[in-house]
Chains A and B, each alone.
Chain A
Amino acid sequence: DAKTTQPTSMDCAEGRAANLPCNHSTISGNEYVYWYRQIHSQGPQYIIHGLKNNETNEMASLIITEDRKSSTLILPHATLRDTAVYYCIVRVGRNSGNTPLVFGKGTRLSVIA
């Protein structure tokens, strides 16, 4: 089973920041937090991942709390194309390159014009 808890759905106005929370209170020290999204039954798309430091790339920012029990994915300027199901996944890190991803139900983000 997934080790994360996410809200079922969220709305966000186009152009505003979308902040998607994730709880992972049982995360272990060697487990990373990964975010993927799935746009309308397409293949899951990798967004970002982190261990304990905040991370940023061209798609999003990932804020992980100091105790690592929760995190927030931030899409700084949401567009209609960001409407998707967003999955927060906790996964064992290095030297476990073939660890399967365990998907939960994710958060369905609807970006509204």
Chain B
Amino acid sequence: EPEVTQTPSHQVTQMGQEVILRCVPISNHLYFYWYRQILGQKVEFLVSFYNNEISEKSEIFDDQFSVERPDGSNFTLKIRSTKLEDSAMYFCASSVGRSQETQYFGPGTRLLVL
């Protein structure tokens, strides 16, 4: 069964460093998403992406964040200058298209900012 994959599974970084989280969505999916979950808190939406541009973003997704689909398979989330409060699980998700709304999530990347 096709699934969303994410790398790395864990990332430790120093405050102020740039990190790139990678996702490979399900191959025939057209919509891509990033969510995050701070330890013990709710899963929060960050951004959605379609047709090589951002469709929607939340207040969390500020100028420190960016997304990109650099090739036909990867979808990345970049945090330019990490802060301690960026420590969280980051989940990528994808869905087929406008008439199929079910989003399928990857296993997540646990980011720890020291």
- Chain A residues with CB under 8 Å of chain B are 32, 34, 38, 41-46, 49, 87, 91, 93-105
**Contact, CB under 8 Å: A46 / B42:** no
Which of B45, B48, B110 contacts A102, CB < 8 Å?
Answer: B45
Nearest B-chain residue to A93, judged by Cβ: B101
**Contact, CB under 8 Å: A97 / B107:** no
Give 23 A-B contacts (CB < 8 Å), ordered by A residue: A34-B102, A41-B37, A41-B89, A42-B107, A42-B108, A44-B43, A44-B91, A44-B105, A87-B43, A94-B98, A94-B101, A95-B98, A96-B98, A97-B50, A97-B95, A97-B97, A97-B99, A97-B100, A97-B101, A101-B35, A103-B42, A103-B43, A103-B44
Residues of B near A95 (CB, < 8 A) are 98-99
Secondary structure dominating the interface of B: strand
- Chain B residues with CB under 8 Å of chain A are 4, 30-31, 33, 35, 37, 42-45, 48, 50, 55-56, 58, 89, 91, 93, 95-108, 110
Residues of A near B89 (CB, < 8 A) are 41
Nearest A-chain residue to B41, judged by Cβ: A105
With A44-B91, A98-B95 in contact, is A38–B43 under 8 Å at CB?
yes
Residues of A near B101 (CB, < 8 A) are 32, 49, 91, 93-94, 96-97, 99
**In the docked arrangement, what's the CA distance between A104 and B42, Å?**
6
Which of B33, B56, B105 contacts A45, CB < 8 Å?
Answer: B105
**Contact, CB under 8 Å: B99 / A98:** no
**In the docked arrangement, what's the CA distance between A106 and B60, Å?**
21
Chain B nearest CB from A46 CB (Å) reads 5
**Contact, CB under 8 Å: B105 / A100:** no
With A43-B106, A104-B42, A105-B42 in contact, is A94–B50 under 8 Å at CB?
no
